[in-house]
Amino acid sequence: MRYAIAAALLAAAPALLPAQSGPQAPSSLTINEWQVPWERTRPRDPYVDSQGKVWFVGQQGHYVGRLDPLTGEFRKWDLEPGAGPHNLIVDRQGIVWYSGNRTGYIGRLDPASGDIRRFQIPDTTIRDPHTMVFDRSGNIWFTAQGGNAIGHFNVTTGAIRTVFASTPRSRPYGIMMDPQDRPWIVLFGTNRIATVDPASFQLREYELPRPSARPRRIAITSDGAIWYGDYAGGMLGRLDPRTGAVEEWPLPGGPTSRPYAIMQDDQDRVWVFETGAQPNQLVGFDYRTRTFLPSRPIPSGGGTVRHVYFDPSSRAIWFGADVGTIGRAPVPPPATVP
């Protein structure tokens, strides 16, 4: 199906929002944000392509957007009304894949032609594909929070296969691939983290020690450790899949810090956004030294930063904020880590 490409190339680059750094953060780590020109559309879940362009979805505006950070220009591809895109990822050929969160499909956008194809999830009880990630073959694993399921989508054949979590209303949420190319999923409605064996399609769940823990997003470092933010308790946690051992550290923002978006960088430092306070705070953690790095506030306040992407080329964490911005937060080079 073809949808019209909105004529939304800005004539001039919009000004960056005023930058702000934390009280102890070096000026070279200044966070910058670009104001998205389409108001009240909840821009979120940015992803950087091979050309350095930043793609994102407008969950409330029903579009796929793109930012050129060199010029500040935005462009928009409109989706059908009610699509409610939640997340996107971009493959090596520049094809954009997005989750039609309100209408039960995975979408494929060819930016060059504007062509859009929709792949409906066969099980009609799974109507809310949530977050997606590529495996090494270029196929897609995804979560469905309301559907209580984890799915696999073959981008060549269009085949979709799903498996349900063992606990009702477990809310499969964040998802990442480990170094062995296995998907790991946080079950936000429980204190559990799950994985699916790609060969057998069997699901295994790991229970965290504290029953009150509610992991929401996930990061995976090169040693295969699974990192999560406990949204309910304000903790940063690490699960060792080999032993099942769990370590946790109280976040600087305390029990009400509401850790949400989380990501690892190329030095295996873990970065998490505390959304329980305004402005949201970006906090880094170095497992080698077991220390937190200086917190940095989001200049716009953030509203809520829900999902992020680390781009090794720009050495920055990219984020979308509920206040209507796309942001870039540089990470420190290894030599500057305490």
Question: Which residues have a Cβ under 8 Å from the Cβ of 209 and sit 6 or more positions away?
Answer: 246
- What is the extent of the structural domain holding 189? 27-336
End-to-end CA distance of the chain, in Å? 53
Q: pLDDT at position 248, please?
A: 98
User: Which residues, listed in sequence order, are joined to residue 207 by a DSSP beta bridge?
Assistant: 192
**Contact yes or no for 220/264 (Cβ under 8 A):** yes
Examine residue 1 and state whether it is found in any structural domain, yes or no.
Answer: no
How many Å apart are CA 12 and CA 20, to the nearest integer? 24
Q: Would 5 be classed as within a structural domain?
A: no
- Tell me, yes or no, whether 168 lies in a domain: yes
Say what the pLDDT of residue 28 is. Answer: 77
pLDDT of residue 123: 95
Flag whether 148 is in a domain: yes
Inside any domain, residue 229: yes
- The CATH number covering residue 238 comes to 2.130.10.10
pLDDT at 335: 60
- Residue 77, pLDDT score: 98
Query: Would 19 be classed as within a structural domain?
Result: no
Cα–Cα distance between 109 and 117 in angstroms, integer?
7
Contact criterion met (CB below 8 Å) for 101 and 128: yes
d(CA 167, CA 189): 9
Q: Judge whether 312 and 53 are in contact, CB under 8 Å.
A: no
Task: Report, as ranges of residue numbers, the positions in the chain whose pLDDT lies below 70.
Answer: 1-27, 335-338
By the 10 Å C-beta count (0-12 exposed, 13-18 middle, 19+ buried), 96 is classed as buried
Q: Is residue 3 part of a domain?
A: no
pLDDT given at position 286: 97
What was the pLDDT predicted at 7? 30
Spatial separation of the C-alpha atoms in residues 106 and 198, rounded to whole Å? 20
CA distance 128 to 101: 4
Q: Indicate whether 63 belongs to any domain.
A: yes
Composition of the chain by helix, strand, coil, percent to 5: 0, 45, 50
- How far is the C-alpha of 273 from the C-alpha of 276, rounded, in Å? 9
Given this model, what pLDDT does residue 250 score? 98
**Which among 139, 189, 142 has a CA at the least distance from the CA of 169?**
189
| pLDDT, position 334 | 78
pLDDT of residue 24: 39
pLDDT at 333: 87
User: What domain count does the chain have?
Assistant: 1
